[in-house]
Structure 1
Amino acid sequence: MDSLATDPRLTTAVAAVLSYLVGSLSFAVIVSRLFGLNDPRTYGSGNPGATNVLRSGHKGAAVLTLVFDALKGYVPVFIAHRLGLGQTAVTLIGLAAFLGHLWPVFFRFEGGKGVATAAGVLLAFEPSLGGLVLGVWLLMAIVFRYSSLAALTASLAAPVIQWQLMGAGAMTVGVAIMSVLLIWRHAANIKKLLAGQESKLGQKAAPPPP
């Protein structure tokens, strides 16, 4: 315990592993099971996230999924701040939670796209950063009614907002990595948007092809 407290590298490594494990909790699947709903990976976009859970028609389950997916990104970073860890350590811990959502060890590494978890990480990094990025998402979602388009726009805006608010540093790299991964995870949505086939918020969709 003394070595853990005195060695910041060991503290960061342990915290990052724990953060990854927390991020690996797929609340879309967990909440759906609790409510007796179908596995969100079997309908709609097949993505285990709040937007797809909403397509089940159960708004309460979708809201809980959204909240818990955001919290699993927020809480590890918040604790890292409270421990007095530096920006690089805090960034790595936030990235670990995000990567856990994308590739969850408890769910055969088949995770979601990470929008809510990324939002939680950004809010914990800096509340004004998270708030402004969420504002971009909300504006685009209200105007165009496409969750994927809102996520893509917010992903592009996040590194720019972070740079303007906080300057360049380890967190700039971390936010940029999350943004790139978010855009990459939305590759199928980009194709659907260009083809005019993307489902709008709250719209029920057919099961994905086998």
Structure 2
Amino acid sequence: MLVLYTIIAAIIAYLIGSIPFAIITSRLFKLQDPRQFGSGNPGATNVLRSGHKIAAALTLFGDAFKGWIAVYLAQQYFPHHTTSIAIVAVAVFLGHLYSVFLSFKGGKGVATAIGVLLACDPMLAIILIIIWLLVFLLFRYSSLAALIAALNAPFLYLILSLQDYRFDGSLFVAILLISILLIYRHKANITKLLTGKEAKFSKKASRKKRH
């Protein structure tokens, strides 16, 4: 029965992850579809390029919250089965990347990944948020900040969990998979970063591009 319940939980988590908050908030505030300007990514950073901070904040919160709530509910229903929790964590992340409501397309998963980690390992999530902020503030590349955070996530989990003897193999695999998927979703950005074609974050530039 555990396998069946885990499959059901994973499907529900995927559907939760599929909720496209960037599209919902943009329509709510009558903004341009975030897939049609800037990076074309339906995520909080691109919504911010519209110049609407409240819409961007709501998108960020929504994308993070859906990652957190899916894992939190799994922790309540499977308190002693970390493998089931890890599967749910990956499922909700996949929902954001390949949303059933967006023809199996979606965002790059940074906020949702943070939401997942806030439920799984709050300290790790806080450290990664700090890393993201520092890199972003220094270089003004959202993609670079996300990539560096993703690259560090599995190693930081190992360091933190081994220090206080709370290492969990299932959770480590989930974090590793999420990191790999997040990096894969940024493959176009990696090419642009390497060739110097990646655009730095600029609300003014994106506004001009829209008109």
Question: Is this contact kept in 2: 1:25–1:106, CA < 8 A?
Answer: yes
Correspondence for 1:72 among 66, 70, 73: 66
**1:29-68 to 2 correspondences below 5 Å:** 29-68=23-62
Q: CA deviation at 1:200?
A: 2.3
Partner residue in 2 for 1:165: 160
Question: Is this contact kept in 2: 1:54–1:202, CA < 8 A?
Answer: no
In 2, Cα distance between the equivalents of 1:179 and 1:147?
16
In 2, Cα distance between the equivalents of 1:148 and 1:103?
19
The number of residues matched between the two structures is 201
Correspondence for 1:152 among 141, 147, 151: 147
Partner residue in 1 for 2:107: 112
Partner residue in 1 for 2:135: 140
Instruction: Please say if 1:92 is aligned against 2:87.
Output: yes
Residue segments in structure 2 that go unaligned for 5+ positions in a row: 162-166
Using the aligned pairs only, state the percent identity: 52
Correspondence for 1:128 among 116, 123, 137: 123
Residue segments in structure 1 that go unaligned for 5+ positions in a row: 1-6
Corresponding residue SS for 1:57: coil
Query: Which amino acid in the other structure matches residue 184 of structure 2?
Result: W
TM-score (norm 2): 0.91
Query: Which amino acid in the other structure matches residue 61 of structure 2?
Result: V
Q: CA deviation at 1:118?
A: 0.5
Query: Which amino acid in the other structure matches residue 156 of structure 1?
Result: L
Corresponding residue SS for 2:38: coil
Q: Which moved more, 1:114-123 or 1:182-191?
A: 182-191
In 2, Cα distance between the equivalents of 1:177 and 1:68?
22
In 2, Cα distance between the equivalents of 1:85 and 1:52?
39
Q: Which moved more, 1:50-59 or 1:7-16?
A: 7-16
Q: Which moved more, 1:151-160 or 1:8-17?
A: 8-17
Query: Which amino acid in the other structure matches residue 60 of structure 1?
Result: I
- RMSD between aligned residues: 1.3
